[in-house]
Amino acid sequence: MRKARVIMGLVLAVALLSACVHMTETRVNVSASPVIDRIPQKGELVVGTDGNMPPLSMTTKEGEIIGLEADLARYMAKSMGVTLRFEVMPFSELLPALEAGKVDMILSGVTITPERNLKVAFVGPYFISGQAFLTNSETIARVKDASDIDSPDTTLAAVKGTTSQILVEEELPKAKLVTTEDYDEAVDLVIQDKVDALIADYPICLIYPLRRPVEGLVAVIAPLTYEPIGIALPPNDPLLVNWVENVLNMLKGSGELKALQKYWFKDASWLEQLP
């Protein structure tokens, strides 16, 4: 009987020890920073962008992504010691891709909003934008207040999934809304007189008259809203958020961010690289 009790005790001890080892391994394998851990492991930083939001992100004739955001992404990849890969997709698919883990972060003119911030983390802003009009209509060009065109006779274009779409739906409910996959499609609708104006971030509205100077496009650049643009990050990785925040602060403090903004917004020489 005593021998049986000893054997039973040993069995229980082994079982408890195995359970403790398993629990320890489980704790070790569950990282508090899953995204920032996997980036160096796979040797690349995957950044989501729509690649068509000049001068923040654009696609050149050779298919290269350039712009202010592209420079920020390259700086971060270099600081991590990894290669950079852009995942290009329609704007409306970017946040779902981040939530699904298909990209590590988003740099694509994403406005920081309370609604978005409930699902993903944000660092920034690295740029302050606002909604404006792009039109070839003299009537729209004279508009001083958005409510002046809140009419069933007005048709507006906005890129699907952007705050521009939300602005039209909430602030201009009487106007007709046409959503597009990207800005080139929306601008074509303006040029073809299929819509009266495009509502977009004012950098977009500033750039297209330079890109297509013979089309009679006019940018109504007084911002209709205040929109801080930030880097969207996974909500489950505080170390990655902290790292990106510190990198952005270093760029701001050193003056490098200001120099990049000056180049992309003041120097139009890069337009020659676009299709």
Pick from 246, 249, 250: nearest CA to 238: 246
- Same domain? For 62 and 124 the reply is yes
158 domain-assigned: yes
The reported pLDDT for the residue numbered 134 is 94
Distance (Å, whole) CA 142 – CA 134: 12
152 domain-assigned: yes
Pick from 201, 235, 243: nearest CA to 219: 201
26 domain-assigned: no
Helix count and strand count (H, E) for the chain: 11, 12
The reported pLDDT for the residue numbered 2 is 52
In DSSP notation, 149-193 reads G-STT-EEEEETTSHHHHHHHHH-TTSEEEEESSHHHHHHHHHTT
15 domain-assigned: no
Of 199, 220, 241, the residue at which a domain comes to its end is 220
23 domain-assigned: no
CB of 57 closer than 8 Å to CB of 69:
yes
- Same domain? For 56 and 98 the reply is yes
Range of the domain at 124: 34-129+227-273
117 domain-assigned: yes
pLDDT tens digits, residue range 252-267? 999 999 999 999 988 8
- Same domain? For 268 and 144 the reply is no
Q: Is the entire prediction scored with pTM above 0.85?
A: no
- Same domain? For 241 and 269 the reply is yes
Phi-psi region of 136 (alpha: psi -120 to 50; beta: other; left: phi over 0): alpha
The reported pLDDT for the residue numbered 25 is 45
- Same domain? For 75 and 142 the reply is no
- Same domain? For 207 and 235 the reply is no
**Number of domains comprising the chain:** 2
How many CB atoms within 10 Å of residue 158? 25
Of 202, 220, 238, the residue at which a domain comes to its end is 220
Q: Return all residues near 21 (Cβ < 8 A) that are at least 6 apart.
A: none
- Same domain? For 122 and 40 the reply is yes
- Same domain? For 115 and 43 the reply is yes
- Same domain? For 91 and 60 the reply is yes
CB of 177 closer than 8 Å to CB of 168:
yes
- Same domain? For 175 and 145 the reply is yes
Rg (CA), the chain: 25
- Same domain? For 118 and 146 the reply is no
- Same domain? For 174 and 61 the reply is no
4 domain-assigned: no
257 domain-assigned: yes
Distances (CA, A) of 58 to 6, 39, 40, 66, 85: 74, 24, 27, 5, 15
Which token pair is 220? 């109504």
Total residues belonging to the chain: 275
Residue segments in the chain with a per-residue pLDDT below the cut of 50: 6, 10-17, 19-29
CATH number at residue 151: 3.40.190.10
Helix, strand, coil % in the chain, rounded to nearest 5:
50, 25, 25
The reported pLDDT for the residue numbered 64 is 97
Pick from 197, 217, 199, 221: nearest CA to 208: 217
